[in-house]
Amino acid sequence: MFSEEDPDYVVAVLIDTSESFQDLMTEQGEAFKYVMSLSDRYFRQRIGTDDQFILAQVSDDPDTTFLWQGTPMQLRRQFPNPQAFSAFLKSKANPGQSHLHESIVTTVDYMLAQSSVQSRKAVSALFILSDMVDRGPDSDQSRTKAVESLRRLRESRGTFGCYFISASVFQTWLRALKDAGIDYQIAPGFKQPPMPTFD
């Protein structure tokens, strides 16, 4: 849980640890590199604050979605190198199907439930490391729910970024996000778009 003091930033990273993505995220170390680049970008000048960092995974079970939460300083202490981070992800990985859309809804709901976000004292950001291909039932309907969750995140001073999105769903997500009026940063394939900025 969050500390009693309101954090200024609440940042969540939703990582695809499915079989098709696990090697990229763990053995090749892309998840570690991205998480630490986020830490450098947003928190380097904020050491000692109550900002919160949340790690989550794409899962078919909401009970296994959340992996870790703490301050940026705690993040670096617990995961000092790629090996430690990769071992942690492997130990928590859910081998089930990638219910991406449900995981987005679960993660956003958790972020929006925090008092600091509800009171607009904190700004928030969700970053997704995934091909954005949902393998759950009723994918079109669940995508609509996911986009609605992202819209609510934006209305609560939140921003959104997606990295490693598959070209097969890039245009679908682009249209959905534009239609919902969501500010975002996404790019097809493995090209990394600029990181969003907080308001």
Encoded tokens for 18 = 């499915």
* Fold (topology level) of 9-188: Rossmann fold (3.40.50)
Looking at per-residue pLDDT, the higher value among 7 and 101 belongs to 101
**Lowest-confidence segment of 24-28, 92-96, 195-199 by average pLDDT:** 195-199
41-62 pLDDT per residue, tens: 777 767 666 788 999 999 888 8
3 pLDDT band (50/70/90 cuts)?
very low
d(CA 144, CA 49): 35
List the chain domain ranges. Answer: 9-188
The CA-based dihedral angle spanning residues 184, 188, 191, 197, taken in that order and rounded to the nearest 10 degrees = 0
Hey, is 182 helix, strand or coil?
A: coil
In terms of residues, how long is the chain? 199
To the question of pTM greater than 0.85 for the whole model, the response is yes
Tokens of 143: 């995508």
Q: In the prediction, which pLDDT does 111 show?
A: 94
Mean pLDDT to the nearest integer, 171-199: 74
Cβ atoms of 38 and 48 closer than 8 Å: no
Q: Is the CB of residue 135 less than 8 Å from the CB of residue 96? A: no
On the question of pLDDT at 199 being above 90, the answer is no
Other C-beta atoms within 10 Å of 37: how many? 12
Which residue do the tokens 């079109």 mark? Answer: 140
